[in-house]
C-alpha cells in the first residue's frame, strides 16, 4: 500500500470517527436527522483523466451537486424506494447546487449551514433505509433562481453557462452547458472548461462516503512536434478553424450520452495565442551513434512553452455529435493550419474524414523530416476504442 493511499484511508477513518462521536444532543441535530454526516469522495487517480486536460483534480477545484431523497405521494412515503421508482415524486431537497471543493487524496469539503447541520455538514436522515441520489457537474457555477449560472475563470471572464433544473422540479435533473462564443471570429481555447458530470443513485447512509466518478463530455485536441532534423525548428502558427461548431450539450439524469442543442459558433482557435508571437521552439533531433539515423526530438505543445514534463498540454475542447463530427457540415469546414519557419508555409489539413469521441484525446503530430512536413492524428486516452484515424501529407 503506497503512502498516498494510506493517508487517504486514514482521512476517511477520521471522518467516520468524527461522525460516530457526534451525538444529536451535543451537535444540535433534530430527531429527523442522524448524527452521521454526508461525505463525498472521488477516486483521486481516476477523476480528471489524462485523456483530457491535466490529470487528477487539483486542490481548490469546485463542483456543484444536486441531492435527492424524500418522496411522498398520496400519503405514501417512497423515500426508501429506488431512484427510478420514486424520482417522479422527488425534488432536490437534500442539496441544490451545493458547492464541493476538492482538498486532497480524493476528498471533497463543503459548508452546509441549514437547520440540522452537523459541524457545518449535512447529516443523513435518521432512517437508514432511505435512499439518496446525487448528480454533480464540473466546473461549478453560482446559479440564479432561474437555474442559470455563468462559469468564470480566475480573471472573472466567462467560460460559458450552466443551466440546471429548478429547485421544485421533480424527477431526473437536467444540466445544460453552453459555450461562451457568439457568431464567428477569433476564439480563445482557454475559455472552454473540461466539462464533466457524475452521479450516484440509491446510496444509503450505511454505504458510507458517496463516491463521485466523473466522466468527460467533450473531446480534446492536443499537439506534439517530432523533429527529425539536426537543427532547432519553430512552429510560428498553429490554428484550428471551422464553421458551425456545436455550442451546447444537455444531459438528463443518468443519460449515458447527451443531447446537442441548436446553438452554433464559428471561427478560429489560435493554439499559440499564449506564446506572445514567439512561436513554439522544438529542440533538434540527435544522430544515433555510429549511424546516420536521427532520433527525433518529441515534445508536446504546452500552455507555458516548456518542453519538459512540467508543462500542461494545450487542449482544444469540442462537442462531438453522435457520428463523431464537430461541425454541422460534418467537418467539411474543419481545418488544421500549420506554419513552420523556414519550411513549407501555411500547410492545411482538412479533417472531414476524421471522427472524434467524447472523453477521448486526439493527438495531432507535426512531423518534420528534412524539408517535408507530415501531419498525423490518432486517438489516445483511457477510453480509446482501439481505432486510429491517421491522415498525413507532404
Give residue 382's pLDDT. Answer: 38
Cell matching residue 257: 450520452
Give residue 31's pLDDT. Answer: 63
Give residue 56's pLDDT. Answer: 64
Give residue 149's pLDDT. Answer: 97
What is d(CA 99, CA 93) in angstroms, rounded to the nearest whole number?
Answer: 15
Find the helix or strand (DSSP H, E) in which 136 lies.
strand 132-138
User: pTM, whole model, 2 decimals?
Assistant: 0.85
Cell matching residue 60: 481548490
Give residue 178's pLDDT. Answer: 98
Compute φ and ψ for 355, nearest 5 degrees. -125, 155
Give residue 344's pLDDT. Answer: 65
Residue 161, C-beta contacts closer than 8 angstroms, at least 6 positions apart: 141, 148, 149, 150, 151, 177, 178, 180
Give residue 274's pLDDT. Answer: 80
What is d(CA 41, CA 147) in angstroms, rounded to the nearest whole number?
Answer: 25
Count CB atoms within 10 A of the CB of residue 60: 8
What is d(CA 262, CA 272) in angstroms, rounded to the nearest whole number?
Answer: 30
- Of 257, 234, 238, residue with least CA distance to 323: 257
**CA torsion, ordered 20, 26, 29, 35, to nearest 10 deg:** 10
Residue-by-residue pLDDT tens, the chain, 394 positions:
444 444 444 444 444 444 444 433 333 344 689 989 999 998 755 433 333 444 468 889 999 999 999 999 999 999 999 999 999 999 999 999 999 999 877 899 999 988 888 889 999 999 999 999 999 999 999 999 999 999 999 899 999 999 999 999 999 999 999 999 998 899 999 999 999 999 999 999 999 999 999 999 999 999 999 999 999 999 999 999 999 999 999 999 999 999 999 999 999 999 998 876 778 889 999 998 878 889 999 998 887 666 555 567 888 999 999 999 999 999 999 999 999 987 766 788 899 999 999 988 899 999 999 888 888 888 764 333 333 333 333 3
What is d(CA 95, CA 114) in angstroms, rounded to the nearest whole number?
Answer: 11
Amino acid at each position: 500500500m503506497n503512502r498516498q493511499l494510506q493517508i487517504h484511508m486514514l482521512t476517511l477513518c477520521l471522518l467516520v470517527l468524527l461522525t460516530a462521536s457526534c451525538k444529536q444532543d451535543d451537535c444540535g441535530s433534530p430527531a429527523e436527522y442522524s448524527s452521521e454526516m454526508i461525505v463525498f469522495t472521488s477516486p483521486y487517480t481516476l477523476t480528471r483523466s489524462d485523456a483530457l486536460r491535466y490529470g487528477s483534480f487539483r486542490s481548490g477545484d469546485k463542483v456543484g451537486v444536486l441531492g435527492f431523497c424524500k418522496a411522498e405521494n398520496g400519503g405514501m412515503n417512497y423515500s426508501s424506494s429506488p431512484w427510478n421508482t420514486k424520482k417522479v415524486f422527488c425534488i432536490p431537497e437534500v442539496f441544490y447546487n451545493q458547492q464541493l471543493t476538492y482538498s486532497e487524496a480524493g476528498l471533497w469539503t463543503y459548508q452546509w449551514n441549514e437547520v440540522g447541520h452537523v459541524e457545518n455538514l449535512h447529516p443523513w436522515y435518521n432512517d437508514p433505509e432511505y435512499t439518496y441520489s446525487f448528480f454533480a457537474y464540473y466546473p461549478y457555477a453560482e446559479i440564479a433562481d432561474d437555474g442559470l449560472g455563468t462559469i468564470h475563470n480566475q480573471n472573472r471572464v466567462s467560460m460559458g453557462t450552466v443551466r440546471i433544473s429548478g429547485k421544485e422540479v421533480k424527477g431526473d435533473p437536467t444540466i445544460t452547458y453552453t459555450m461562451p462564443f457568439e457568431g464567428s471570429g477569433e476564439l480563445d481555447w482557454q475559455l472552454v472548461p473540461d466539462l464533466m458530470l457524475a452521479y450516484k443513485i440509491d446510496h444509503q447512509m450505511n454505504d458510507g462516503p458517496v463516491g463521485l466518478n466523473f466522466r468527460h463530455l467533450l473531446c480534446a485536441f492536443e499537439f506534439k512536434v517530432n523533429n527529425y532534423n539536426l537543427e532547432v525548428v519553430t512552429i510560428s502558427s498553429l490554428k484550428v478553424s471551422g464553421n458551425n461548431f456545436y455550442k451546447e450539450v444537455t444531459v438528463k439524469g443518468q443519460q449515458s450520452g447527451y443531447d446537442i442543442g441548436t446553438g452554433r459558433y464559428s471561427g478560429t482557435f489560435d493554439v499559440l495565442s499564449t506564446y506572445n508571437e514567439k512561436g513554439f521552439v522544438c529542440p533538434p533531433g540527435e544522430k544515433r551513434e555510429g549511424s546516420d539515423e536521427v532520433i527525433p526530438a518529441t515534445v508536446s505543445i504546452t500552455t507555458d512553452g516548456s518542453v519538459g514534463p512540467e508543462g500542461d498540454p494545450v487542449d482544444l475542447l469540442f462537442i462531438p455529435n453522435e457520428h463523431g463530427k464537430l461541425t454541422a457540415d460534418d467537418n467539411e469546414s474543419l481545418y488544421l493550419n500549420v506554419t513552420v519557419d523556414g519550411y513549407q508555409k501555411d500547410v492545411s489539413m482538412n479533417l472531414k474524414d476524421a471522427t472524434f469521441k467524447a472523453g477521448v484525446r486526439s493527438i495531432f503530430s507535426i512531423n518534420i523530416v528534412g524539408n517535408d512536413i507530415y501531419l498525423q492524428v490518432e486517438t489516445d486516452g483511457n477510453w480509446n476504442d482501439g481505432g486510429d484515424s491517421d491522415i498525413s501529407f507532404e
